[in-house]
Structure 1
Amino acid sequence: MPDVNTRPEAAPQGTGAGMLPSRLHHNAYVVKDQRATQHFYEGVLGIPLVATWTETDELLGAERVYCHTFYGLADGSALAFFQFADPGDQALFEPRFRPSPFIHVALKVDDATQQAMIRRLADNAWDHLVIDHGYCVSLYATDPDGLQLEFTRDHPDTARIEAERLAGAHADLDRWLSGDHRSNNTFRES
């Protein structure tokens, strides 16, 4: 993705103008079975469990008992997962969205990491899909609770591609919203 700090309109007005979050801290999701989640993320994908918090908190008018796990990424961020001890709390907080390939978490990987993940998924007979988008190659897999994951390897000339997309980002959005839905992906092979 382009460095959004280079766009003048990206800088908010007021104190701290130009400051953006430094990185994702964690993305959280409710799961039905922490053990199945651990097997998938740590055992299949090789993403290590780096923290487990077992807690009780007063949340939304009731005491909630839960387990919160974190699987660490190379930049220090994490994928995090909650499981509740009470089945009523579990039902109350579990995700309620229609499964869709357009609702997903995308993580950047290098070629060696992507190839290792493909092998590990295949070795575990885990369904997965690889799509070459032209500007990146994406590996897709779904975790035991239906969370769609994308592991993205950038094109070798990503700096040029990002500069081109940044230069036309607003015009391309305006064109598409006005009804001209032609593809602008000149990097994908036909």
Structure 2
Amino acid sequence: MSQPLPLRLHHHAWITDDQEANRHFYEDVIGLPLVATWTEREVLSGAERAYSHALYGMADGSALAFFQFADPKDQEEFKTDLNYTPLRHIALKVEKETQEAILKRVDAAGHADANAHVLDHGFCVSLYVTDPNGLILEFAVDHPDVKQIDAERRATAHADLARWLAGDHTSNNHWR
């Protein structure tokens, strides 16, 4: 029995220490428009707290959202410091022209900490950029045969996982 799937990502939330630096990066450099800023006071974890919640929109109506608390103690309590790994990232589908334009804007903005680089995964080509908060963004351009690739992976997804779990770690990515 198949279950209904979520319709789309609504938003992904993160903490920022500087809403304006964050706005500049996402709106002026990456090109995502600031579509809403909610300023709130509410009880969170047993205390009333003031915060802002800024959302940057994508074409499908979803958003990347960033919180900043007015009180530095609250900011520290809710901060999302995580051990760095390049595998923890948000991947966004883009067209090749969009990916190229983002890379040019990142380079022009001089964000040395952005660590912008491109990797060809075979099934997609990805631009990786690190934002001012340490969040890694992936801007992925699908392979021209993405429908065929998707159909093949869906057809063998369970068998591939079972094979991996059984100890067979042979690559099944023949698009590289």
Q: Matched residue pairs, number? A: 173
- Percentage of identical aligned residues: 58
Query: Who is 1:100 aligned against?
Result: 85
Structure 1 regions of 5+ residues with no counterpart?
1-7, 12-17
Equivalent of 1:114 in 78, 82, 99:
99
Query: Who is 1:140 aligned against?
Result: 128
TM-score, normalization by structure 1:
0.89
Per the TM alignment, residue 164 of structure 1 is displaced from its structure 2 partner at its CA by: 0.9
Q: Separation in 1 of the partners of 2:87 and 2:148?
A: 26
SS across alignment from 1:175: helix
Q: Separation in 2 of the partners of 1:160 and 1:111?
A: 19
Query: Who is 1:42 aligned against?
Result: 27
For the pair 1:128 / 2:116, whether they are aligned, the reply is yes
What do residues 112-167 of structure 1 show as CA deviations (whole Å, max 9, x unaligned)? 11111111111112330100101000000010010011011100010001111111
Equivalent of 2:171 in 176, 179, 183:
183
Superposition map of 1:11-90 within 5 A: 11=2, 18-90=3-75
The amino acid of 1:160's aligned partner reads: Q
SS across alignment from 1:99: coil
* RMSD over aligned Cα atoms: 0.9
- Higher mean C-alpha deviation, range 95-104 or range 61-70: 95-104
SS across alignment from 1:27: strand
Q: Separation in 2 of the partners of 1:182 and 1:40?
A: 39
Structure 2 regions of 5+ residues with no counterpart?
none
TM-score, normalization by structure 2:
0.96
SS across alignment from 2:101: helix
The amino acid of 1:143's aligned partner reads: D
Per the TM alignment, residue 96 of structure 1 is displaced from its structure 2 partner at its CA by: 2.6
Q: Separation in 1 of the partners of 2:27 and 2:84?
A: 23
Which runs of structure 1 show a deviation greater than 6 angstroms over 4 or more consecutive aligned residues? none
Q: Separation in 2 of the partners of 1:117 and 1:21?
A: 28
Superposition map of 1:1-20 within 5 A: 11=2, 18-20=3-5
Query: Who is 2:146 aligned against?
Result: 158
What do residues 23-50 of structure 1 show as CA deviations (whole Å, max 9, x unaligned)? 1110000111001100110011111101
